[in-house]
């Protein structure tokens, strides 16, 4: 009888300890999440009083808007391009950092800086480096005669270059994070596996592509999925670097949602735009759950 009582208080205590956090999350994530849907189907604006249900009107109009379609495309293009670069770059860097060498701690500190620095501040640093007049990159290009003075690339002014710049800044920011996670996966591989491969006759590249990388697939997936989320849902880089310009050419979904909803006061349209983030997030969530499930089974 004492056991029975004990178990139920145990459960009760568990609920009590979990409840505050659960309540908070419900109120500050689930509630706003639903509100986003409500706004998307309304005509809410900042400042105006009530709001009315307008059905799919918002969605219809944004789907017709070229800047929205542009932003939708950009979100995918920027994310996919930057994450491919990140995957290749961070795997390479992680392989180089795997073995101890003098100064490794200092190198690790340096390469972590892009990830650790507040996003906006790193972006502002890049804005200075890519400045239309005073860019240090252009100065170097001119000095080695790869560009003409006064005709050097407008990194943030010319549409294609601006897109490239955004992709590169995203890559720059996520690379350290990915590297560090992949490094953890690398060090988890037992030492005798690459040795067995060496004895079996595999050279560097075969060992890398047929043994090391396949063994790291779960970790690579984790790094990739998180990198995708961090890039796809970020508005800061675009906001700081180009404000979505030139002429809305580098807008992404989150930044467009901000400009429309907050600066443009059109809460409903802003909410509708931001909801287009959800499909990708659902796919990512599904993939992560599947990975977690597989890990449990093993």
Partner 1 sequence: MPRRGQNRARMGKLGHWLVIVVFTVLLAFPFYWMLITIFKQTGDLYNTDNNPFTFNAAPTLDNLQVLFFETRFVRWLGNTALVGVLVVGITLVLALPAAYALARLTGQWGQRLGIGIFLTYLVPPTLLFIPLSRVVAELGLQDTIWSLVLVYPSFTVPFSIWLLMGFFKSIPKELEDAAMVDGLTRFGAFVKLVVPMSFSGILTVVIFTFTLVTQEFVYALTFISPEANQMLGVGVPTFLVRGDVYFWGSLMGACLIASVPIALVYNLFLDRFIAGFTVGAVK
Partner 2 sequence: MAIVETRAVTKVFKEGTMGAVNNVDLVTHEGEFLVFLGPSGSGKTTLLRMIAGLEVPTSGDILIGGEVVTDLTPRERRIAMVFQSYALYPHLTVYKNIAFPLKAQGVPKDQHQKKVEWASGLLSIGHLLDRKPRELSGGERQRVALARAIVREPSVFLLDEPLSNLDAKLRASAREELESFHRRVGTTTIYVTHDQVEAMAMGDRIVVLHKGIVRQIGTPTEVYDDPADTFVATFLGSPPMNLLKNGEVIVGFRPEHLVPAGANGGAAIKLKLKIHNVEYLGSEWIVYGRPQGEGAPDQVVVSRLPTADHKIGEIHDFTVAEKHLRFFDKETEKRAPARALTWP
- Give residues in contact with partner 2 (CB under 8 A): 190, 192-193, 195-203, 206, 210-211, 214-215, 217, 298
63 binds, among partner 1, partner 2, none (CB under 5 to 8 A by kind): none
Could you tell me if 109 and 97 are in contact, meaning their C-beta atoms sit under 8 angstroms apart? no
Nearest distance from C-beta of residue 195 to partner 2, angstroms: 5
For the record, the structure tokens of 145 come out as 């005669």
> Are the C-beta atoms of residues 121 and 128 closer than 8 Å to each other?
no
* Residue 202 binding partner per list partner 2, partner 1, none, with a CB distance cut-off of 5 to 8 Å that depends on partner kind: partner 2
Nearer to partner 1, 80 or 137 (CB): 137
Q: How far is the CB of 134 from partner 2 (least distance, A)?
A: 51
> Cα separation of 47 and 179, whole Å?
46
* Residue 238 near which of partner 2, partner 1, none (CB within 5-8 Å, type-dependent): none
Nearer to partner 1, 62 or 257 (CB): 257
Residue 42 tokens read as 């309304």
- Between 201 and 279, name the residue whose CB sits nearer to partner 2: 201
Query: CB–CB of 194/212 below 8 Å?
Result: yes
The least CB distance from residue 218 to partner 2, in Å, is 10
Closer Cβ to partner 2, 51 or 221, answer by number: 221
Return d(Cα 64, Cα 116) in angstroms, integer: 39
User: Closest distance between partner 2 and the C-beta of residue 185, in Å?
Assistant: 13
Q: Burial, 217: exposed, middle or buried (Cβ in 10 Å; 0-12, 13-18, 19+)?
A: exposed
Instruction: For the CB of residue 23, give the shortest distance to partner 1 in the complex, in Å.
Output: 9
CA separation for the pair 21, 25 (Å, rounded)? 6
Name which of 44 and 166 has its Cβ closer to partner 1: 44
Helix (H, G, I), strand (E, B) or coil at 42: strand
With CB cut-offs between 5 and 8 Å by kind, which of partner 1, partner 2, none does residue 277 bind? partner 1
Instruction: Read off the tokens for 238.
Output: 């675009």
CA nearest neighbour of 90 among 164, 170, 171: 171
Q: In the structure encoding, which two tokens stand for residue 258, read together?
A: 């901000």
User: Using CB distances below 5 to 8 A depending on partner kind, what does residue 154 bind out of partner 2, partner 1, none?
Assistant: none
| CB 20 to partner 1: min, Å | 5
Binding partner of residue 206 among partner 1, partner 2, none, CB cut-off 5 to 8 Å per kind: partner 2
Contacts of 18 (CB under 8 A, 6+ apart): none
Taking the least distance from each CB to partner 2, the nearer of 37 and 209 is 209
Report the alpha-carbon distance of residue 263 to residue 259 in Å, rounded. Answer: 5
The answer to whether the beta carbons of residues 273 and 256 sit under 8 Å apart is yes
């Amino acid at each position: 009888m004492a056991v029975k009582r004990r178990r139920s208080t145990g459960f009760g205590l568990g609920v009590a300890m979990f409840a505050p956090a659960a309540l908070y999350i419900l109120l500050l994530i689930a509630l706003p999440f639903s509100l986003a849907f409500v706004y998307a189907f309304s005509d809410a604006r900042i400042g105006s009083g009530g709001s009315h249900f307008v059905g799919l009107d918002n969605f219809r109009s944004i789907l017709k808007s070229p800047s929205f379609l542009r932003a939708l495309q950009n979100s995918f293009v920027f994310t996919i391009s930057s994450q491919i670069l990140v995957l290749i770059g961070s795997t390479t860097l992680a392989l180089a950092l795997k073995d101890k060498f003098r100064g490794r701690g200092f190198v690790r500190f340096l390469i972590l800086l892009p990830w650790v620095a507040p996003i906006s501040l790193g972006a502002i640093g890049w804005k200075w480096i890519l400045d239309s007049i005073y860019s240090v990159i252009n100065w170097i290009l001119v000095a080695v005669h790869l560009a003409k003075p006064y005709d050097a690339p407008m990194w943030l002014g010319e549409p294609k270059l601006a897109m490239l710049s955004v992709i590169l800044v995203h890559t720059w920011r996520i690379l350290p994070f990915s590297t560090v996670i992949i490094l953890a996966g690398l060090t988890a591989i037992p030492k005798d596996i690459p040795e067995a491969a060496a004895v079996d006759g595999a050279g560097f590249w075969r060992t890398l592509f047929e043994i090391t990388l396949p063994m790291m697939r779960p970790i690579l997936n984790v790094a990739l999925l998180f990198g995708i989320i961090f890039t796809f849902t970020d508005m800061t880089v675009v906001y700081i670097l180009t404000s979505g310009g030139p002429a809305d050419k580098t807008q992404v979904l989150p930044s467009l949602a901000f400009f429309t909803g907050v600066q443009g006061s059109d809460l409903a349209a802003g909410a509708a735009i931001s909801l287009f983030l959800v499909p990708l997030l659902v796919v990512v969530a599904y993939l992560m759950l599947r990975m977690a499930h597989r890990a449990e089974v093993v």
